[in-house]
Structure 1
Amino acid sequence: MGVDNSRRALAVVFVIVFVDLLGFGILIPVIPLYALSFGATEFVGSLLIASYSAMQFLAAPFLGRLSDTRGRRPVLLLSLTGSVLAWTLFGLAGSLAVLFFARMLAGAMGGNIATAQAYIADVTPPEERARGLGLLGAAFGLGFIFGPAMGGFFASDAVVTAAQSVFPAWLPATEFSLPSFAAAAITASNLVAAYFLLPESRPPEARGESRAEERESRVAELLAALRTPALGTLVVAFFLVSFAFSALESQFIFLTNEQYGYGATENALLLTYFGVVIAVVQGGLIGPLTDRYGEYRVAIAGAAIQVFTLAAVPFAPKIGSYLPAVGPLLPVGPTLPAAIVALALVVTPLAFGNAITNVSLNTLVSRSATADDQGGAFGLTQSAGSLARTFGPALAGLLYTGVDFWAPFVLGGALMIPIVALLLRLDASLLVGQGESRDAESVD
């Protein structure tokens, strides 16, 4: 594939992943409240959230292997088709069972991220691969910023009222169905664009079952990498960070709905603000911070910040009682203005801490592996993150309903303490790769 064709293919994959994540992000402020509308408890709603990551974890290796033998393009088209079906069913769901089925189907189709990563590896030379994968990360970030904002728009009273006036009687037009149909429509347009614009990156002669032995050796390399002291420590830390933060993500909307009376639109504004803070930190502040202090110290600082901010989220109304009522922070009429201000004061440093922790941990993971093991190392962190986002929401929902509303958030903050301890004990001399000397000095 020539340079121009390679860049074109990379741009198309970027758009595909961005639009795919946009469709996913639209439903983030909707899913918990959608489950409650069917009479589900917060625990069952948390299981609905977790079901996506569980199916994504199970499906990603299968779709990756299928793309090795059948080509990347068919797998990406298949997954987009499945996503259109899943989000359509999500909007039409007349029961909690259908809601779970649609969510799990969407999760299975979401395993196409591994195929997108493989596509980028196909069309980029080794020296350009980091840039290509970085674009994939940017697509993730943008999708999670604009998606919730669009979800809030389609769930707004004005849009719902307008849709009810034009939709036929058999087609539901609610604050839950409209974001689902919007996600399906966006993904359908993505499918059409991919069908006409996305070339195959894997030539026929490179496909086939002969890659089975290579896959087995890859698994052996991953297991060996997990036994590496520095990498093993970082993977555990990454798992705990993802686990703790998934408790916030899964229960935050339940919390704001219960304490502030917020629906999908108001929560969409909060989630969009959260995403913008993360994007600003990762896009502009993380570089100067790591240049001055090193990834090691920045990761520890980010985890330490989250110890307190995660635990403080459910107590924002109490904190707000000590603040003057300065008026609404958001133009949606919150009933507790001072508590909302307190929530913003908690959420802003929380987003900052999470952003610098994730970037710094990923950089340290990269340094813990040799150039030949980079893919395997990041594969480990992705697997750890998927597992954490599967079990984290389930436990958080159980604590929310079985203990009290504050329990999952306090647990999330408490889980950051062993992360700080693990990083403090990490022998930075075990980190290999460029820049290791600076991190070793940071330990001293």
Structure 2
Amino acid sequence: MSVENPRRALGVVFVIVFVDLLGFGILIPVIPLYALSFGATEFVGSLLIASYSAMQFLAAPVLGRLSDTRGRRPVLLLSLTGSVIAWTMFGLAGSLAVLFAARMLAGSMGGNIATAQAYIADITPPEDRAKGLGLLGAAFGLGFVFGPALGGFFASDPVVVATRSILPAFVPVSEFSLPSFAAAVITGLNLVAAYFILPESRPPDARTDVSEERESRLEQLASALRTHGLSALIVSFFLVSFAFSALESQFIFLTNDQYSYGATENAVLLTYIGIVIAIVQGGFIGPLTDRYGEYRLAITGVAIQVVMLAAVPFSPVLGASIPTFGPLVSFGPVLPSGVLALLVIMTPLSIGNALTNVSLNTLVSRSATDDEQGGAFGLTQSAGSLARTFGPAVAGGLYTGIAFWAPFVAGGLLMIPILVLLARLDREVVSPTTA
């Protein structure tokens, strides 16, 4: 560890990742409906969602290797700069093509998550890495708490009308563009703060020269795939991401079709999900890891998702016996019993996903050497991005071509092979405290 004050550096990277995810989270309840506003179908809207992950898949290993050779800080600053440009383009988009271009640029910058994970690995000892990665996961969770909430706020009619009366007429202000501009401003402020307060975690003498050692580095990663169980973890990442992308890509389409929910109402639901994830990853993952270990938590998280993911589209049926809940205080619309049942389902589902993601990340970190952290996280991030590239497309096809419940049930079934992979995981990856 080269950082003089690791705890302070951990706090800084936590804030940076949180604000970065805040800007990303603002657009989550907006993107699917934004695509529909240009006349796109749910399938095309799913492709828009997938385009982010497609570019993230291509960029993650590149940014991961670049962070190993040039340092973590420059890569994080570069990605924040690109995100500002992307979110600005998103707000100015006058066509579906520009919307796709902006989304793809944002995705290429989204590969910085592997760099942030490697940064945490740089400044934490192996025995504390689960807690550090859990804190990073909490930044994700908080980003998905406040991001969608802000997105719903900026997409609400009163805010759009008030902003339109203030800004010049040449600035396009709508329920879709305003959240985009807000994301650009927030990310821009994050960039300025990161430039001044983010220290470098990887000293020059610890960096490798890509031109001289790139082949040997690939050989090291290939060796890790063969001998340290990393292959099983990468496949698990792929399947988890592929299955969960059914929920991520089709959730707003589902609530829009079943409950006529728009961006603001969906923001409330997504905010609740983010709260659950943040609580688990930020408060419970450390003590649970100390007691049960990453391996058992990964198994438990996947098992929960098998059942709950498949149950999501049947919330109206499951909620038929639940009396209608009162109005949501902040937003006004009545919460149907089916939505209440959906929240009951989403609670353990979110817990299971939080446990799985942090545990798999920690197992990946344990399976790679110090010099391989950026590349290993980049590889697993790429596996997840590849899954989220094809997952939404497949889910959108199932949603429109078969039935609304098909992508969710298929996602739940796809979790089952992960249990088999983890059960057969090379025990060298699992430390004595987690076996």
60 and 306 in structure 1: CA distance in 2 versus 1, 3 angstrom threshold:
closer
Farther-moved stretch of structure 1 (224-233 vs 388-397): 224-233
> Which residue does the alignment assign to 2:302?
303
> Which residue does the alignment assign to 1:34?
34
- Give, in angstroms, the shift of residue 247 of structure 1: 1.0
The 8 Å contact of residues 63 and 112 in structure 2, kept in 1 or not, is answered as yes
C-alpha separation in 2, matches of 1:205 and 1:293: 37
- Give, in angstroms, the shift of residue 246 of structure 1: 1.1
> Which residue does the alignment assign to 1:322?
321
> Which residue does the alignment assign to 1:185?
185
The residue identity in structure 2 corresponding to 1:409 is F
The 8 Å contact of residues 79 and 110 in structure 1, kept in 2 or not, is answered as yes
The residue identity in structure 2 corresponding to 1:144 is F
The 8 Å contact of residues 328 and 337 in structure 1, kept in 2 or not, is answered as no
> Which residue does the alignment assign to 1:415?
414
The 8 Å contact of residues 32 and 49 in structure 1, kept in 2 or not, is answered as yes
Helix, strand or coil: the match of 1:262?
coil
The residue identity in structure 1 corresponding to 2:14 is F
Farther-moved stretch of structure 1 (147-156 vs 327-336): 327-336
Matches within 5 A, 1:46-65: 46-65=46-65
The 8 Å contact of residues 221 and 376 in structure 1, kept in 2 or not, is answered as no
Farther-moved stretch of structure 1 (250-259 vs 393-402): 393-402
The 8 Å contact of residues 3 and 199 in structure 2, kept in 1 or not, is answered as no
C-alpha separation in 2, matches of 1:354 and 1:214: 36
Q: Over residues 331-388 of structure 1, what are the superposed CA-to-partner deviations in whole Å (9 max), with x where a residue is unaligned?
A: 5455662111111121112112222222333344455557776665544432221211
Q: Which structure has the bigger radius of gyration?
A: 1
C-alpha separation in 2, matches of 1:392 and 1:305: 20
> Which residue does the alignment assign to 1:442?
none
Farther-moved stretch of structure 1 (347-356 vs 192-201): 192-201
The residue identity in structure 2 corresponding to 1:353 is G
206 and 4 in structure 1: CA distance in 2 versus 1, 3 angstrom threshold:
closer
- Give, in angstroms, the shift of residue 194 of structure 1: 3.1
Farther-moved stretch of structure 1 (403-412 vs 188-197): 188-197
Farther-moved stretch of structure 1 (68-77 vs 256-265): 68-77
Helix, strand or coil: the match of 1:227?
helix
The 8 Å contact of residues 369 and 433 in structure 1, kept in 2 or not, is answered as no
Helix, strand or coil: the match of 2:404?
coil
- Give, in angstroms, the shift of residue 432 of structure 1: 4.6
> Which residue does the alignment assign to 1:172?
172
The 8 Å contact of residues 369 and 431 in structure 1, kept in 2 or not, is answered as no
> Which residue does the alignment assign to 2:111?
111
C-alpha separation in 1, matches of 2:247 and 2:396: 10
431 and 266 in structure 1: CA distance in 2 versus 1, 3 angstrom threshold:
same
Helix, strand or coil: the match of 1:218?
helix
The CA RMSD measured in Å over matched residues stands at 3.1
198 and 305 in structure 1: CA distance in 2 versus 1, 3 angstrom threshold:
closer
The residue identity in structure 2 corresponding to 1:407 is A
> Which residue does the alignment assign to 1:435?
433
- Give, in angstroms, the shift of residue 162 of structure 1: 0.8
347 and 366 in structure 1: CA distance in 2 versus 1, 3 angstrom threshold:
same
Matches within 5 A, 1:347-358: 347-358=346-357
The residue identity in structure 1 corresponding to 2:52 is Y
The 8 Å contact of residues 244 and 413 in structure 1, kept in 2 or not, is answered as yes
The residue identity in structure 2 corresponding to 1:17 is V
> Which residue does the alignment assign to 1:97?
97
Unaligned runs of at least 5 residues, structure 2: none
Matches within 5 A, 1:26-425: 26-66=26-66, 72-117=72-117, 124=123, 130=129, 135-198=135-198, 210-228=209-227, 230-290=229-289, 293-328=292-327, 332-334=331-333, 337-366=336-365, 377-424=376-423
The 8 Å contact of residues 260 and 334 in structure 1, kept in 2 or not, is answered as no
374 and 294 in structure 1: CA distance in 2 versus 1, 3 angstrom threshold:
same
11 and 38 in structure 1: CA distance in 2 versus 1, 3 angstrom threshold:
same
- Give, in angstroms, the shift of residue 193 of structure 1: 2.4
69 and 312 in structure 1: CA distance in 2 versus 1, 3 angstrom threshold:
closer
The residue identity in structure 1 corresponding to 2:27 is L
The 8 Å contact of residues 289 and 297 in structure 2, kept in 1 or not, is answered as yes
C-alpha separation in 2, matches of 1:260 and 1:193: 41
- Give, in angstroms, the shift of residue 125 of structure 1: 7.3
For normalisation by structure 1, the TM-score amounts to 0.86
- Give, in angstroms, the shift of residue 255 of structure 1: 0.6
Unaligned runs of at least 5 residues, structure 1: 440-444
255 and 216 in structure 1: CA distance in 2 versus 1, 3 angstrom threshold:
same
Farther-moved stretch of structure 1 (7-16 vs 275-284): 7-16
C-alpha separation in 2, matches of 1:366 and 1:434: 16
For normalisation by structure 2, the TM-score amounts to 0.88
The residue identity in structure 2 corresponding to 1:421 is V
- Give, in angstroms, the shift of residue 399 of structure 1: 1.1
162 and 193 in structure 1: CA distance in 2 versus 1, 3 angstrom threshold:
same
- Give, in angstroms, the shift of residue 325 of structure 1: 2.8
The residue identity in structure 1 corresponding to 2:404 is F
The residue identity in structure 2 corresponding to 1:211 is V
The residue identity in structure 1 corresponding to 2:361 is N
Helix, strand or coil: the match of 2:324?
coil
Helix, strand or coil: the match of 2:415?
helix
335 and 135 in structure 1: CA distance in 2 versus 1, 3 angstrom threshold:
closer
322 and 135 in structure 1: CA distance in 2 versus 1, 3 angstrom threshold:
closer
329 and 16 in structure 1: CA distance in 2 versus 1, 3 angstrom threshold:
closer
The residue identity in structure 2 corresponding to 1:320 is G
- Give, in angstroms, the shift of residue 73 of structure 1: 4.6
354 and 121 in structure 1: CA distance in 2 versus 1, 3 angstrom threshold:
closer
The 8 Å contact of residues 325 and 335 in structure 2, kept in 1 or not, is answered as no
C-alpha separation in 2, matches of 1:427 and 1:9: 33
The residue identity in structure 2 corresponding to 1:161 is V
The residue identity in structure 2 corresponding to 1:403 is I
Identity %: 76
